[in-house]
């Protein structure tokens, strides 16, 4: 993992007012150790991207959006384009989060379109994949991961895939307090890397950052991050409190 800088991203989901967002971003920026090993990323709701960008200006903390539409502009009422996200100061865009798949009809095909659109403006997609509890119990985990990866990455060039961050987020672990064990997560991370090595290119597979997501806390980040193929975390609930997020950002 030496060549992969760990990445800790906070997904604020549908939480926080502008004032709360600015305050949390400011505390993270101010209290993050200059010696921090991990790259730190904040993903506020769309409404707060601008104020958070202002708080983070000149700091190493990076900005992400939680979703995007695949067209660059046009008559798409309610949608936000990759160009708008670039304009507001994002570096990353979360794509295909399980909540988008569950509540908003996101599919591997829409994930694929969004990844391509985001790449055209130079932003970095953070693609989320992961199995449900029923799929894990039916021993379909690796098949689900394979089809989500294959569908999400369809028609992308190796050089484009090289721009991605991939987050493995077992749906049964998101917001449930039921974290995957380091062994469970490592098994899937290692599988993802091997699949990419075979289907894309070994050097790209070994350079890509694979994040774990699902009930990450200050108490479990350390053992998770020690697993050889886990390169950081996508953090939901625990990213809303500065003290717990900063502990996670310090990798426990």
Find the shortest distance in angstroms from Cβ 72 to ligand PEP.
26
SS3 222: helix
Find the shortest distance in angstroms from Cβ 180 to ligand PEP.
10
- Residue 237 annotated as lining a ligand binding site: yes
Which of residues 118, 216, 224, 225 is near ligand PEP by CB under 6 A? 216
CB-based closest residue to ligand PEP: 236
- Residue 175 annotated as lining a ligand binding site: yes
Write down the residue that tokens 């289907």 correspond to: 199
Q: Is position 131 annotated as part of the catalytic site?
A: no
Tokens of 65: 């959006």
Find the shortest distance in angstroms from Cβ 214 to ligand PEP.
5
Is 236 among the residues that bind ligand PEP (CB under 6 A)? yes
Question: Which of 86/98 has CB closer to ligand PEP?
Answer: 98
Which residues lie below 8 Å from residue 40, measured CB to CB, with a gap of 6+?
7, 8, 9, 10, 28, 32, 60, 61, 62, 249
Q: Is position 189 annotated as part of the catalytic site?
A: no
- From the CA atom positions of the chain, what is the Rg in Å? 17
Is 175 among the residues that bind ligand PEP (CB under 6 A)? yes
Tell me the torsion sign for CA atoms 225, 228, 232, 236. negative
For 213, phi then psi, to 5°, come to -140, 140
Find the shortest distance in angstroms from Cβ 62 to ligand PEP.
16
Which of residues 82, 188, 237, 246 is near ligand PEP by CB under 6 A? 237
Closest CA to 145 of 213, 101, 192: 192
- Residue 78 annotated as lining a ligand binding site: no
Binding site for substrate: residue ranges? 11-13, 175, 215, 236-237
Catalytic residues: 97, 169
């Amino acid at each position: 993992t030496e060549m992969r800088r760990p990445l800790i991203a906070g997904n604020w989901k549908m939480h926080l007012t502008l004032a709360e967002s600015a305050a949390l971003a400011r505390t993270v920026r101010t209290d993050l150790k200059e010696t921090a090993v991990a790259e730190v990323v904040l993903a506020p709701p769309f409404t707060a991207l601008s104020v958070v960008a202002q708080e983070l200006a000149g700091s190493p903390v990076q900005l992400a959006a939680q979703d995007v539409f695949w067209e660059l502009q046009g008559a798409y009422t309610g949608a936000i384009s990759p160009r708008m996200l670039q304009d507001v100061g994002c570096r990353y865009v979360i794509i295909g989060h399980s909540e988008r798949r569950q509540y908003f009809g996101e599919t591997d095909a829409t994930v694929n379109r969004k990844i391509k659109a985001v790449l055209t403006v130079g932003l970095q997609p953070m693609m989320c994949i992961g199995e449900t509890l029923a799929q894990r119990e039916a021993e379909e985990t690796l098949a689900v991961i394979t089809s989500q990866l294959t569908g999400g990455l369809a028609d992308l060039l190796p050089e484009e895939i090289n721009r991605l961050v991939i987050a493995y987020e077992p749906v049964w672990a998101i917001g449930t307090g039921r974290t995957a064990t380091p062994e469970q997560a490592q098994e899937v991370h290692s599988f993802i890397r091997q699949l990419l090595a075979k289907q894309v290119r070994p050097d790209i597979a070994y350079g890509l950052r694979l994040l774990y997501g699902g009930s990450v806390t200050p108490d479990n980040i350390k053992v998770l991050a020690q697993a050889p193929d886990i390169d950081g975390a996508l953090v939901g609930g625990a990213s809303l409190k500065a003290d717990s997020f900063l502990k996670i950002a310090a990798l426990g």
